[in-house]
Amino acid sequence: MQALIEVILPVFLVMAAGYGATRAGWLQSEAIDGLMRFAQGVAVPCVLFLGVAQLDLARDIQLEPFLAFYTGAFACFILGCLGARFLFGRPGPDCVAIGFACLFSNTLLLGLPITERAYGPDALTTNYALIALHSPLMYAFGITAMEVVKSRGLGLAMPRVLRQIGLGLVTNPLIIGITAGFAVNIFQLPVPGVAWDAVTMIGTAGIPASLFGLGGVLTRYRPDGDLRIVAMVTGLSLILHPAITYGLGQGALGLTTPELRSATLTGAMPPGINAYLFANMYGVGKKVAATSVLIGTVLAVVTAWFWLGVLP
């Protein structure tokens, strides 16, 4: 109960404040959109830049946490696609969008603050390492899978697929922040103290602003679509993904305690807003993705508490 009160509820109360302020009409949709553009386009990239720039790459970038986390993620994508196709009879593009919702955990807006509140700022090194690959890897995989499914029988050339992937990655502010952090880290580029302090000040607003804005965004969603598919997506995201990560981390991969905590908690996060953005980009599976984000975020209050109790 202490973990629920001290670790999880403050994070979700910030989201609830954004939800309540928007529902009450104190903030209009335009204000929430502006807040999210600032958070995800400026402040959160600063958070990622600072985190990646300070990583000890030789020590903190380890293969085992990646294997544990991404094995669970891709297993859920495959099961989500197969379930959507063979249990619910959805067409190919819908299956990819639904599988992507199972794949794309909210590693940033929920995984970071919950891990930090549970174990402290020093516990975030594995989180930053996982996040550094998360958006580019997941989007590259999702876009490739969708373009391949959509182009089947249409004779579309692979350069178009590759161009779509490349444009999506190089223009993403989160990836720009991560890339800049790696550049500073690897090449030991000097950053003036005053600039570092300014970036730190902006980054400090990133997670609270994102959580508040996420609450406002969730007011736009309603439980809709096939709730059986939503149940499958949330079950895979909140239960199976962290279970696979935890099992591999405890067993074959032998993760250290900090690595196990970060990888499992990150895998235990619900589908992120990007799951809906991906579905919206292709115009398929939007109701399922939006409802999965909403319901998964609510259920994560309980499931994250469970995983905090399981972890050492």
Q: Say how far apart CA 138 and CA 146 lie, in whole Å.
A: 12
Residue showing tokens 């990560």: 245
What digits encode the pLDDT tens for the residues 59-111? 777 899 999 999 999 999 999 999 999 999 999 999 999 999 999 998 888 88
Q: Say how far apart CA 265 and CA 102 lie, in whole Å.
A: 15
pLDDT of 57 over the 80 cut: no
- DSSP reduced 3-state for 54: coil
| Residues 6+ away with beta carbon under 8 Å from 125 | 55, 56, 60, 258, 262
What CATH code is assigned to 2-310?
A: 1.20.1530.20
Q: Measuring CA to CA, which residue among 261, 291, 251, 258 is closest to residue 273?
A: 291
**Average pLDDT, integer, range 227-249:** 96
Instruction: Determine the longest span between alpha carbons in the chain, in angstroms.
Output: 57
- What is residue 18's predicted lDDT score, i.e. its pLDDT? 92
Contact 98, 84 (CB under 8 A): yes
- What is residue 76's predicted lDDT score, i.e. its pLDDT? 97
Q: Say how far apart CA 135 and CA 188 lie, in whole Å.
A: 24
What is the length of the chain?
Answer: 312
pLDDT of 4 over the 70 cut: no
What digits encode the pLDDT tens for the residues 281-302? 778 888 888 889 888 988 998 9
Q: Say how far apart CA 250 and CA 260 lie, in whole Å.
A: 8
End-to-end CA, the chain = 16
- What is residue 95's predicted lDDT score, i.e. its pLDDT? 94
Give the type of residue at 242. P
What is the DSSP-derived secondary structure letter of residue 4? I
Contact 97, 288 (CB under 8 A): yes
Contact 265, 104 (CB under 8 A): no
| Residues 6+ away with beta carbon under 8 Å from 9 | 301
What is the DSSP-derived secondary structure letter of residue 272? P
Token output for 102: 């199972």
